[in-house]
Amino acid sequence: MFKNLNIVIGVTGGIACYKVCGIINYLKKEGANIDVIMTKNATNFITPLTLETLSNNKVVVDMFENKTNYNVEHISLAKKADLLLVVPATANIIGKVANGIADDMLSTVIMATKAKVVFAPAMNDAMYENKIVQDNIEKLKKYGYKFIEPDVGALACGYQAIGKLANKEKIIKTLKKVWEGGKK
């Protein structure tokens, strides 16, 4: 199903970052080609080296790193993507995209791509239930962005509530559905 599919995975700065490893492993085993873009904040939680090793591709963090290379990376990644999955998706990246902000590599690629974009949010329950976050999600849904609802479960804050990253099976199932529903 995912064989030879170009999937760009955006990783943002949440405690669930480490869970992206299992998702990349699964998709690689299924034959997908994975390119990872991390936000600078995500690199506080997990290293680019880990995701480079798992994806077998260079991980991009900094928009301006490759000044001598005339391949405009944000455009080439945006074009290359068959699907773009943001996992975990912070309140911040959702807010930025919902408001047209493109101030780092990930938000710029999301702005520049015509591929389907799927967000898997994970955050504290109060953040998730914040009306601003919910409005941003609704706005993005209206524009055709897809969301994988977080689970109710044990949060990093030490109690049970909504905001836990959806499990791998749910994320994969949604990716399949989105790809089948809107091949480019």
Q: Is the backbone of residue 138 left (phi > 0), alpha (psi -120 to 50) or beta?
A: alpha
Q: What tokens appear for 75 in the block?
A: 């455009």
**What distances in angstroms separate CA 11 from CA 22, 37, 131, 155, one per listed residue?**
13, 6, 23, 19
As measured in angstroms, the least distance from the Cβ of 106 to ligand FMN is 7
Measured CA to CA, the distance from residue 75 to residue 81 in angstroms comes to 10
Rank residues 83 and 93 by Cβ distance to ligand FMN and give the closer one: 93
Measured CA to CA, the distance from residue 63 to residue 17 in angstroms comes to 21
As measured in angstroms, the least distance from the Cβ of 39 to ligand FMN is 3
Q: 20: closest CA among 38, 1, 44?
A: 38
User: Where along the sequence are the contacts to ligand FMN (CB under 6 A)?
Assistant: 12-16, 39, 41-42, 90-93, 122-123, 127
As measured in angstroms, the least distance from the Cβ of 45 to ligand FMN is 7
Catalytic, out of 129, 149, 157, 177: 157
Rank residues 15 and 161 by Cβ distance to ligand FMN and give the closer one: 15
Measured CA to CA, the distance from residue 156 to residue 58 in angstroms comes to 30
Rank residues 9 and 93 by Cβ distance to ligand FMN and give the closer one: 93
Q: What tokens appear for 83 in the block?
A: 């699907």
* 17 part of the active site: no
Rank residues 123 and 137 by Cβ distance to ligand FMN and give the closer one: 123
As measured in angstroms, the least distance from the Cβ of 13 to ligand FMN is 3
Q: 151: closest CA among 128, 184, 130?
A: 128
Indicate which residues carry an active-site annotation: 157
